[in-house]
A = this chain, B = another copy of it.
């Protein structure tokens, strides 16, 4: 499986297991605790794909560690906030300035975590092992490393993620257990992508564990795969290959239009669809799709990030 060095970084492995498909493995030993450098690399990876990579049509996101997808926020790093605040000179602290400072930190963090929503192709999260909310503190995080072999939670952060969960997966919206309301997307996306707000509230207020099958029932995941990491990644890659066989223009439009619809009224969404497709229906992919289907051969589509010369607007 081809390793894409130009995309990989210290804690993120990027492979190209099949043409047009990326497999991204989070690999910060031992539990994928998310520190600043980690989420910055994570966001930069997605944002750089259109410029730096081959003709990507689908991406599978997984963890390098079979028994844990992510333990959430790196609380060792995060703990420095409290310490720095506690130690700071009372003459120079100001709650309003601290608030502005938090805003400046939250926004790019949110943007990095939601980066998969901005790429033109679907991102499939192959969830295995435990996954815990961004936001657990330092000491809990240390304990979690050992117990990690039995933790599981989907990151849940992007509505563009196809959510596949291995049957051994367990979930926890853990932020409440470090005294904060989740602010990186969990509370924003879950009400829009599931069908049981009562359940989402219950889990968010309590950080209770819930199973993959419960997650499927309420709509967090669309399929539970029997087995562990290997099985769920394999299933996700099969889905990715199916998506990659379709017109990338049609797939990217479908992704964009669904995202738009979740945020707008029916009338607004139909009008946006009209404008969007007025350009996209001019694609040659429609003819190629029909001809390849007739000839019973795979479609041969132009790359999505086609550049017509070196033009800038």
Residues of A that sit less than 8 Å from B by CB? 35-36, 50, 77-88, 92-107, 109-110, 114, 117, 120, 122, 137-140, 159-163, 175-183, 185, 187-202, 204-208, 218-223, 239, 242-243, 246-247, 249-259, 261-267, 269-270, 272-290, 293-294, 302-313
Contact = CB atoms under 8 A, between A and B. Distances in A.
A195 B222 contact: no
A236 to B, nearest CB: 11
Contacts of A302: 92, 94, 97
Contact of A197 (B83, B96, B219): B219
A95 B85 CA distance: 12
Contacts of A140: 290, 293
Contact of A274 (B107, B204, B286, B308): B107
Contact of A97 (B97, B221, B249, B286): B249
A93 B190 CA distance: 33
Contacts of A278: 98-100, 102-103, 106, 279
Nearest to A105: B313
Contact of A95 (B220, B283, B294): B283
B110 A205 contact: no
Contacts of A221: 198
Given A95-B282, A139-B293, A182-B254, A188 B309 contact: no
A274 B103 contact: yes
A96 B285 contact: yes
In the assembly, how many copies of this chain are there?
A: 6
B96 A249 contact: yes
B266 A97 contact: no
Given A36-B313, A96-B279, A179-B250, 17 more contacts: A100-B252, A140-B290, A162-B205, A175-B254, A177-B293, A180-B277, A182-B254, A188-B266, A190-B261, A191-B192, A191-B258, A193-B196, A198-B222, A202-B223, A205-B246, A205-B254, A275-B279
Contacts of A100: 120, 249, 252, 278, 304-306
A276 to B, nearest CB: 6
B280 A181 contact: yes
Contact of A312 (B105, B175, B259, B274): B105
Given A107-B274, A195-B218, A279 B176 contact: no
Contacts of A220: 198
A286 B101 contact: no
